[in-house]
Amino acid sequence: MVNQTAADMISSNQPRPPNQCKSGTANTTSSEPTVSGSLVWSKSMQGLVLSAFYWGYMFSQVLGGYLAGRFGGKWIILGSVGTSTVLTLVSPICAIAHVGVFLAVRVIMGFSQGMMFPAFHSLWAQWAPPLERSLLTGITYAGNQIGMTIVMPISGVLCQYGFAHGWPSVYYVFGIAGIVWCAIWLLYGSDTPSVHRFISQEEKEFLEDELHETRHISDEKKPPIPWKAILKSKAVWGLWAGHFAADWGAYTMAAGLPLFLNDVLGLQLTEMGFLSAIPYLAYFVVINVSTFAADAIRNAAWMTTLNVRRAAMIIALGSQAVFLVACGFCGCGQQALVIVFLTLGIGLSGASYAGFVVNYLDIAPTFAGPLLGTGQTVSCIAGILCPIIIGWLTPQV
């Protein structure tokens, strides 16, 4: 997408220094041609583009939780994905037209997608039995990692061999996939078990019995959000702090992993796409294993819910810190070790889904959407800062 050679000249008025890893592997890599994009954006501009999504993402979180509680999570999610799909399809044209237009598209896309996670939580407050919340929310959010696992290698192949001069085909293919998803969601999505068209009577009665204390009854007025009590709660602030810490690492890797594999380790584009997917496949596995284990431990009364959430966060943040920092000490010829460290660091951080993610439902299931929306707003600061900091710290990498 970006012409990196020209970008380096803009960033520092000189070409980037030879990459030893690339030089050392030049005679052993495949004959795959080097891909150079048509867009001349400096490193700082690339960081700005990557962070632009989170400018919009930040300001729609609380709104998404409020709208999901008022109108139902199904329609908020449909509107979010539908809007993002349209913007994805027009992104190549906007990027070629002017970087400012593309920045605007990314901001609007972020604003749209910012409503999704609070809407998911509002849905699960109506669908998930209390002792199954860790597992069910984990399965839902693990789908994000399956998406990453699929998208990264396909994107690498499309950039190399796709239609419309390569990189634009990535946007067109996944834009079409978004249209298909919206059609399926419109058919099968539902705000509550009571109005689902395909649920069995037995399952509906079970869910309504399990959720009688927290489910939203459409003919009752929902109580106002107790913002004063929320802002005075130490538990809520601790939850938001854990949310921010977990997302800092996640955003850093989302923005920096492809650049690190290509610019530092010298991996080819298609090879980079497949290797980038490995840590997120591990992330998917850990999310499901940890959320299943969390519910099993709670059901067996081996640990309290609070201690289960704490243990999950210690595993997630501790492994993220140790293994991702270790990657920085690896040199040329240690690509395999770097992939192992990245896989462990990113993979084990999936335990956070048995920690802070589901803890919103523990603390306040009725207000899970707005509460998560506020936490997401706080954590978006990390999403804005991480790509910009990476660009500043690595102008010639």
String of DSSP letters for 64-109: HHHHHHHH-HHHHHHHHHHHHHHHHHHHHHHHHH-HHHHHHHHHHH
Helix%, strand%, coil% for the chain, nearest 5 = 80, 0, 20
Q: Tell me the three state secondary structure of residue 265.
A: coil
The dihedral sign for the CA sequence 363, 368, 371, 375: positive
Record the tokens describing residue 336, joined without a space: 């395999």
* Per-residue three-class SS string for 229-243: HHHCCHHHHHHHHHH
Q: In angstroms, rounded to a whole number, what is the distance separating the alpha carbons of residues 359 and 238?
A: 11
Judged against a pLDDT cut of 60, whether residue 23 lies above it is answered with: no
Count of other CB atoms within 10 angstroms of residue 370: 25
Query: What is the pLDDT, as a whole number, of residue 259?
Result: 72
Yes or no: say if 53 and 109 are a contact pair by the CB < 8 Å rule: yes
pLDDT (tens digit, 9 = 90+) per residue, 67-91? Answer: 887 888 899 999 999 999 999 999 9
Q: In angstroms, rounded to a whole number, what is the distance separating the alpha carbons of residues 397 and 395?
A: 6
For residue 224, being part of any structural domain is answered with no
Q: In angstroms, rounded to a whole number, what is the distance separating the alpha carbons of residues 50 and 367?
A: 31
Pick from 339, 344, 355: which is nearest to 245 by CA? 355
Q: What is the reported pTM? A: 0.68
The CATH code of the domain that includes 294 is 1.20.1250.20
pLDDT band at 27 (very low <50, low <70, confident <90, very high): very low
Looking up tokens 């900091």 gives: 389
Determine what percent of the chain is predicted with pLDDT higher than 70: 84
Q: Average pLDDT, stretch 341-360?
A: 89
Is residue 209 packed enough to be buried (19+ CB in 10 Å), middle (13-18) or exposed (0-12)?
Answer: exposed
pLDDT (tens digit, 9 = 90+) per residue, 285-301? Answer: 898 899 889 989 988 88
Query: What is the pLDDT, as a whole number, of residue 103?
Result: 93
Judged against a pLDDT cut of 60, whether residue 397 lies above it is answered with: no
Counted residue by residue, the chain has a size of 397
What single DSSP character describes residue 59?
T
pLDDT (tens digit, 9 = 90+) per residue, 152-188? Answer: 788 888 888 878 778 889 999 999 999 999 999 999 9
For residue 189, being part of any structural domain is answered with yes
pLDDT (tens digit, 9 = 90+) per residue, 44-69? Answer: 787 788 778 888 888 887 788 788 87
Is residue 301 packed enough to be buried (19+ CB in 10 Å), middle (13-18) or exposed (0-12)?
Answer: exposed
For residue 33, being part of any structural domain is answered with no
Q: Average pLDDT, stretch 202-228?
A: 72
Q: In angstroms, rounded to a whole number, what is the distance separating the alpha carbons of residues 285 and 348?
A: 9
Is residue 163 packed enough to be buried (19+ CB in 10 Å), middle (13-18) or exposed (0-12)?
Answer: exposed
For residue 83, being part of any structural domain is answered with yes
For residue 25, being part of any structural domain is answered with no
Maximum mean pLDDT: which of 134-138, 172-176, 357-361: 172-176
Record the tokens describing residue 388, joined without a space: 């910009």
Q: In angstroms, rounded to a whole number, what is the distance separating the alpha carbons of residues 17 and 33?
A: 21
For residue 1, being part of any structural domain is answered with no
Find the farthest-apart pair of alpha carbons in the chain and give their distance in angstroms, rounded: 70
Radius of gyration of the chain (CA): 22
Yes or no: say if 64 and 369 are a contact pair by the CB < 8 Å rule: yes
Enumerate long-range contacts of 3-9, CB under 8 Å, 24 or more apart.
3/36, 3/37, 3/38, 3/39, 3/40, 4/36, 4/37, 5/36, 6/40, 7/40, 7/41, 7/42, 7/43, 7/45, 7/46, 8/43, 8/396
Name the residue with higher pLDDT: 31 or 315. 315
What single DSSP character describes residue 130?
G
For residue 120, being part of any structural domain is answered with yes
Exposure string of 101-130, with b = 16+ CB inside 10 Å and e = fewer, is ebbebbbbbbbbbbbbbbbbbbbbbbbbeb
Q: Average pLDDT, stretch 325-337?
A: 80
Maximum mean pLDDT: which of 26-30, 100-104, 214-218: 100-104
Q: Which domain holds residue 173?
A: 39-196+232-388
pLDDT (tens digit, 9 = 90+) per residue, 33-42? Answer: 555 556 777 7
Total domains in the fold of the chain: 1
For residue 211, being part of any structural domain is answered with no
